[in-house]
A and B are shown apart, each in its own frame.
Chain A
Amino acid sequence: MDANIYKNKRPVIVFLTPAFIFMIVYLYYPFLKNIWNSFLEIKQLGGTGSGFLDPWYENYAKMLTDANIKTSLINTLIMMLATLVFQVGFAVILALMVDNIKRGKQFFKTVFFFPIVISATALGLLFNLIFLYDKGMLNQILELLGKSELTDWKAEGIAIFTMMLPVIWQYVGFYFVILITGLNNISEDLYEAAMIDGASRIQRVFYISIPLLHNVICTCAVLAVTGALKVFDLPWTMFPKGMPLKSTFLTGTYMYYQTMEAKNVDYGSAIAVLIVVLGVLLSKAVNRIFKEKDY
Chain B
Amino acid sequence: MKKKGIALLLAAAFAMSMIGCQGAAAPAAPAADTADSSAPADEAAPAAGGVEINVTTTFAGEDGNAQNFKDAMNAWCAETGNTVADTSATSDETFKTRVITDFETGSEPDVLFFFNGADANSFIEAGKVVSIDDIRAEYPDYASNMNDDLIADSLVDGKKYAVPVNGYWEAMFVNKEVLDAAGVSVPGADYTMDAFKADCKKIADAGYTPIAAALGNIPHYWWEYAIFNNGSPANHLEIPASADDAIGQAWVSGMNDIKELYELGYFPENTLSATDDETFAMFTEGKAAFLIDGSWKVGGIVAACQADPEDPATLDADKLAKFDVTYVPGKGDRKATDLIGGLSMGYYITTKAWDDPAKRDAAVSFVSYMTSDEIVPKFAQHTASALKNAPAVDESAFNPLQIKAMSMMSGVTSLTGAVQDLFMGDCRVSTFDGMPEIVTGKVDAKDAVQEGIDVYQAQ
Contacts and interface: CB of A to CB of B under 8 A. Distances in A.
Given A263-B426, A264-B426, A18 B15 contact: yes
B436 A134 contact: no
B272 A243 contact: yes
Contact of B273 (A159, A260, A261): A159
A156 to B, nearest CB: 7
B90 to A, nearest CB: 14
Sort chain B's interface into a size bin: 35 or more
Interface string B417-442: 00000000110010001001100101
A11 interface: yes
Contacts of A150: 269
A8 to B, nearest CB: 8
Contacts of B104: 44-47
Interface size class on chain A is 20 to 34
Contacts of A159: 273
B217 interface: yes
A5 interface: yes
Contacts of A44: 100-101, 104, 122
Interface in B1-33: 3-4, 7-8, 10-11, 14-15, 18
A133 interface: yes
Interface stretch (B199-207, B274-282, B371-379, B392-400): B274-282
Interface SS majority for chain B? helix
A245 B216 CA distance: 7
A6 interface: no
B425 A260 contact: no
Interface string A35-70: 000000001111100000000000000000000000
Contacts, number: 95
A269 B131 CA distance: 35
A245 to B, nearest CB: 5
Given A134-B287, A263-B425, A18 B278 contact: no
B445 to A, nearest CB: 16
Given A11-B3, A132-B278, A245-B216, A261 B440 contact: no
B273 A15 contact: no
Given A44-B101, A243-B272, A245-B272, A262 B433 contact: yes
A243 B101 contact: no
Interface string A149-168: 01010111001000000000
A17 B11 CA distance: 9
A241 B433 contact: yes
Contact of A245 (B8, B275, B436, B459): B436
Contacts of A134: 278, 281-282, 287
A46 B105 contact: yes
Given A47-B104, A155-B273, A240 B217 contact: yes
B425 A45 contact: no
B7 A243 contact: no
Contacts of B429: 261-262
Interface in B36-92: none
B119 to A, nearest CB: 11
Contacts of B270: 133, 152, 154-155
Nearest to B102: A46
A79 B4 CA distance: 49
A45 B10 contact: no
A241 B410 CA distance: 39
Contacts of A227: none
Interface string A241-279: 101111000000000000011111000000000000000
B93 interface: yes
A245 B437 contact: yes
B407 interface: no
Contacts of B10: 15
Contacts of B273: 133, 152, 154-156, 159, 243-244
B278 A133 contact: yes
A14 interface: yes
B97 interface: yes
B185 interface: no
Given A45-B104, A47-B104, A245-B442, A18 B425 contact: no
Given A11-B7, A134-B281, A260-B94, A43 B426 contact: yes
A199 to B, nearest CB: 51
A104 B155 CA distance: 68
Contacts of B281: 134
A133 to B, nearest CB: 5
Contact of A14 (B8, B105, B282): B8
A264 B94 CA distance: 14
B15 A45 contact: no
A54 to B, nearest CB: 11
Nearest to B101: A45
A236 to B, nearest CB: 11
B14 A243 contact: no
A133 B15 CA distance: 53
Contacts of A45: 97, 100-101, 104-105
Contacts of B94: 260-261
B101 A262 contact: no
B338 to A, nearest CB: 31
Nearest to A45: B101
A17 B18 CA distance: 13
Interface string A230-245: 0000000000110111
Interface in A1-39: 5, 10-11, 14-15, 17-18, 22
Contacts of A245: 216, 272, 436-437, 440, 442
A43 B15 CA distance: 36
Interface in B93-131: 93-94, 97, 100-101, 104-105, 122
A17 B437 CA distance: 52
Nearest to A149: B269
Contacts of A15: 7, 10-11
Interface string A121-138: 000000000001110000
Given A14-B7, A134-B282, A262 B426 contact: yes
Contacts of B15: 18
3 shortest interchain CB distances as A-B pairs: A46-B104, A154-B273, A244-B273
Given A243-B216, A244-B436, 5 more contacts: A18-B14, A133-B273, A159-B273, A261-B93, A261-B433
26 contacts: A11-B4, A14-B7, A14-B11, A43-B459, A44-B100, A44-B104, A45-B97, A45-B100, A45-B101, A45-B104, A46-B101, A46-B105, A47-B104, A133-B273, A133-B278, A134-B282, A150-B269, A154-B273, A159-B273, A241-B217, A241-B433, A243-B273, A245-B272, A245-B436, A262-B433, A263-B426
Interface of A: 5, 10-11, 14-15, 17-18, 22, 43-47, 132-134, 150, 152, 154-156, 159, 240-241, 243-246, 260-264
